[in-house]
Amino acid sequence: MDAVTYELIKKSTETDARLGILHTPHGDIETPVFMPVGTQASVKTMTPEELKEIGAKIILSNTYHLYIRPGERIIEKAGGLHKFMHWDRAILTDSGGYQVFSLSNLRDIKEEGVTFKSHLDGSKHFFTPEKAVQIQNSLGADIIMCFDECLPYPCDKDYASLALKRTIRWAKRCKDTHKNIEKQSLFGIIQGGMYKDLRLQSVNEMTDMDFPGYSIGGLSIGEPKKIMYEVLDWITPVMPQNKPRYLMGVGSPDCLIEGAIRGIDMFDCVLPTRIARNGTVFTSHGKLVVRNAPYAEDFRPLDEECDCYACRNYSRAYIRHLFKANEILAARLATYHNIYFLVNLMKKIRKSIKGGTLLKLRDEFYLKYGYNKEDDE
């Protein structure tokens, strides 16, 4: 039996949205779910206890980063990633594919694998599908990812097709390598650029391999949002109903709603944590740059409709002061709030799927949040 299984609770009639439960070795997770990102075995600024308090059930960590530093051997020696970072809920690791293609400046792609240089010290490394899985086996996350080739945007069709076929061959090698199926589930990744036939081909060939879950890669990489939504509209209807669908790297509030509407079950993104550290927070009425001057004497909470720890106890004026004074607590409070905001949004999304009011939620959100189409692109 697979370590991770998906239980479909309810299929929306008004949209393609699904309500489900992801059963993992480290607990059950109601879906659709947002996964905060802990790139280097830490969700930036946060403790695991705070993430639990917020309601996070699963976090993502990055294989590439942990391989580079501290190295998967140390984490394995520590008893695995859960124990190393003191997190006893579920973890998902990516395969390193995305980072190899986005962070490393010198890389050489061959059928066997990819040679790349570390973004830290320029040292040379060679990743293969086998190695990506072995590293993830050492890390021990509940959900692990196939090693894939990530395309730039835009990308011509010939190359997209070539890369897609290689990604499928690599997925087979990943599956053959992965031995730890009772503790960790290996997900396949749907690629194919912004080309409908390639995306459909990818869905077909990946689902033929019968992975316990599928992620959708190669989106949110600079393309307009409407193109991302179009790609989702092509592929989620033909993806298996009994497997979870994970849209990689997506996390702006509007995209979470639009993704859920299109049948996505899992999301991850550094957006809430990254913008928090720059002094930007989500609010019910749109984004707010709390470090800006207008908030110097604004004694209201970050978001007047939020009941998170930061909003219950601190004013915009105080948090702005902390940002101006370079106090670490600034980043902590903004991060706490932003993750809370998204986790809470996912709760509202699940409630709306249950009640059949997801489209209403979307309309209200756009009206109130003051959505700008180009805002997060």
| Positions marked active-site | 94, 268
Residue closer to a second copy, measured from CB, 62 or 352: 62
For residue 300, give the nearest of 286, 288, 314, 290 by alpha carbon.
Answer: 314
**Which of 52, 86, 226, 285 touches a second copy by CB under 8 A?**
86
What is d(CA 103, CA 81) in angstroms, rounded to the nearest whole number? Answer: 23
Sketch the per residue contact string, 332 through 351, with a second copy: x for CB under 8 A, - otherwise. x-------------------
Q: How far is the CB of 45 from a second copy (least distance, A)?
A: 4
Name the residue nearer to a second copy (CB basis): 314 or 369.
Answer: 314
* Residues near 30 by beta carbon (within 8 Å), at least 6 away in sequence: 19, 20, 21, 57, 350
CA distance 63 to 139: 8
| Least distance CB 83 / a second copy (angstroms) | 9
Query: Does residue 78 touch a second copy according to CB under 8 A?
Result: yes
Q: Which helix (H) or strand (E) holds 289?
A: strand 288-289
Cβ 37 to a second copy shortest distance, Å? 13
By CB under 8 A, tell whether 59 contacts a second copy: no
Residues 351, 342 contacting (CB under 8 angstroms): no
Binding residue (CB under 8 A) for a second copy from 108, 297, 305, 363? 297
Cβ of 128: how many Cβ atoms within 10 Å? Answer: 18
* One residue of 33, 85, 189, 235 binding a second copy per CB under 8 A: 85
Distances (CA, A) of 274 to 181, 228, 339: 33, 22, 11
**Min. distance of Cβ 88 from a second copy in angstroms?**
11
40 binds a second copy (CB under 8 A): yes
**362: CB partners within 8 A, 6+ apart:** 257, 258, 261
Shortest spacing between CB 127 and a second copy, in angstroms: 20
Q: Which is nearer to a second copy, 246 or 295 (CB)?
A: 295
Pick 293 or 367: Cβ nearer a second copy: 293
- If the CB atoms of residues 141 and 146 are measured against a second copy, the closer one turns out to be 141
Which of 34, 69, 49, 7 is closest to 272 using CA atoms? 34
Is residue 331 at the binding interface for a second copy, with CB under 8 A as the rule? Answer: yes
214-216 and 245-247 beta bridge pairing: parallel
Q: Does 325 bind a second copy (CB under 8 A)?
A: yes
295 binds a second copy (CB under 8 A): no
For the chain, the straight-line distance linking the first and the last C-alpha, in angstroms and rounded, comes to 40
Q: Which stretch binds a second copy (CB under 8 A): 66-74, 124-132, 357-365, 367-375?
A: 66-74
Number of residues that bind a second copy (CB under 8 A): 34
Instruction: Please report how close the Cβ of residue 135 comes to a second copy at its closest, in angstroms.
Output: 16
Determine, following the binding rule CB under 8 A, whether residue 317 of this chain makes contact with a second copy.
Answer: yes
Which distant-in-sequence residues (6+ apart) come within 8 Å of 327 by Cβ? 321
Helix (H) or strand (E) holding 298: none
Selected binder of a second copy within 5, 47, 161, 180 (CB under 8 A): 47
Buried b (16+ CB within 10 A) or exposed e, 142-155: bbbbbbbbbbeeeb
Q: Which residues of the chain form contacts with a second copy (CB under 8 A)?
A: 40-42, 44-47, 65, 69-70, 74, 77-78, 84-86, 296-297, 299, 313-315, 317-318, 320-322, 324-325, 327-329, 331-332
